[in-house]
């Protein structure tokens, strides 16, 4: 979700979905629901490591990786939040004229307050659902075909341990439980 130079070069090859002239409009929501510029000084991986270290939590995959084994624990969940393309574009750009052609110059566009309000609401929802301390990144992209959020959540249980099952499946590990959980997310 954090585009760096190499990512931008790769994305230029797929410009059907990415407009580098709108990258300056991207933002993130930080602790306390604060809107800020995207911090590219640390990768998502580094943010996760710092979050875990500050809380005294050890990644259960590290010993496996150190031994040359494949990681077997699900230690992160990535959510993409968005909506109807027309609605999301209206929230992001309002009445401004956006040129959707590939290679267009949209550097003069301004980010609208409505998309920030929407993102803050979505952030509050994710915080309520999973705990603000468990959100490692919440990055809003306005430089793609449809404005959306990439939200990185750490599955840390109430007893301060990484547990995908406890956090996302409430201890159940079967298809029926997952289906029911996903249905409840969307209601």
SS (H, E, C) 89-121: HHHHHCCCCCCCCCCCCCCCCCCCHHHHHHHHH
Nearest alpha-carbon partner for 21 in 107, 89, 98: 107
Domains and CATH numbers, the chain: 5-162 (3.30.930)
- Predicted TM-score (pTM) of this structure: 0.85
| pLDDT (tens digit per residue) in 44-61 | 999 999 999 999 999 999
| Count of H-run helices and E-run strands, the chain | 7, 5
| Cβ-contact 136, 152 below 8 angstroms | yes
What is the reported pLDDT for 181?
Answer: 72
- DSSP code of 26? -
| pLDDT (tens digit per residue) in 59-98 | 999 999 999 999 898 899 999 999 999 999 999 999 999 9
Residue whose pair of structure tokens reads 């956006």 in the numeric block: 98
| Cβ-contact 133, 48 below 8 angstroms | no
**Confidence category of residue 126, pLDDT binned at 50, 70, 90:** very high
Strand 77-81 to 135-141 pairing: unpaired
How many CB atoms are closer than 10 A to CB 120?
15
């Amino acid at each position: 979700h954090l585009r760096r130079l190499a990512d931008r070069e790769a994305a230029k090859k797929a410009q059907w979905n990415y407009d580098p002239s709108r990258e300056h409009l991207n933002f993130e929501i930080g602790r306390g629901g604060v809107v800020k510029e995207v911090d590219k000084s640390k990768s998502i991986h580094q943010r996760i490591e710092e979050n875990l270290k500050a809380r005294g939590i050890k990644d259960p995959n590290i010993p496996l990786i150190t031994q040359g084994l494949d990681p077997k624990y699900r230690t992160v969940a990535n959510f993409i939040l968005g909506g109807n393309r027309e609605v999301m574009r209206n929230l992001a750009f309002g009445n401004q004229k956006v040129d959707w052609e590939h290679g267009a110059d949209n550097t003069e566009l301004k980010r609208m307050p409505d998309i920030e309000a929407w993102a803050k609401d979505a952030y509050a929802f994710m915080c309520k659902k999973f705990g603000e301390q468990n959100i490692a990144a919440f990055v809003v992209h306005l430089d793609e075909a449809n404005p959306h959020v990439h939200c990185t959540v750490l599955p840390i249980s109430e007893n301060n341990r990484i547990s995908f099952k406890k956090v996302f499946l409430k201890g159940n590990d079967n298809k029926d439980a997952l289906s029911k959980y996903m249905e409840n997310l969307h209601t």
